[in-house]
Amino acid sequence: MTTPAIPSDSPSKRDGIAVPGGRARLLAELVEPGGGEAGDIVMQALEGPDGALLLRIGYRRAGAVVRAPATAGGRTWSRLLRRAGADPVIGPLLGAGPHAAGGRHRA
């Protein structure tokens, strides 16, 4: 898991991350370096405004996460999903690990 690199004065840090229904809190983040014009692929675990756990996938360009179709080769996805499955926060959202849960958790 990587520590989110969000500037302390950014709107995301102050007010949360915009999601349908309100603002979410960042719980965990994994970054798979992509390089090039597309940027890095980011997988984030969020706590939604209703307390539900959410999974967000996107690109990071110039320090900002862009919610767009995240396209990468099979090896990149394999590395990211292997790391995500082992992550104590993101893994359960994917149904991996001993704490995988249903109910309020959704991906």
Q: What is the pLDDT of residues 30-87, one digit of tens each?
A: 999 876 667 888 999 999 999 999 999 988 887 788 877 778 888 888 899 999 999 9
Structural domain count of the chain? 1
Record the tokens describing residue 30, joined without a space. 């994994």
Q: Tell me if 2 is assigned to some domain.
A: no
Residue 76, burial from CB neighbour count under 10 angstroms (0-12, 13-18, 19+): middle
Q: Tell me if 51 is assigned to some domain.
A: yes
Nearest Cα to Cα of residue 1 among 56, 82, 83: 83
Q: Tell me if 101 is assigned to some domain.
A: no
> Helices marked H in 1-107 — which ranges?
11-15, 74-86, 90-93
Is pLDDT at 107 greater than 90 in this prediction? no
Q: In the beta sheet, which residues pair with residue 53? A: 47, 105
pTM of the model: 0.71
Strands (E), the chain: 17-19, 22-32, 40-47, 53-61, 64-66
Going by pLDDT thresholds of 50, 70 and 90, the confidence category of residue 98 is low
| CA separation for the pair 42, 65 (Å, rounded) | 7
**Residue 64 domain boundaries:** 11-93
Q: Tell me if 27 is assigned to some domain.
A: yes
Q: Tell me if 63 is assigned to some domain.
A: yes
Amino acid 77: pLDDT: 86
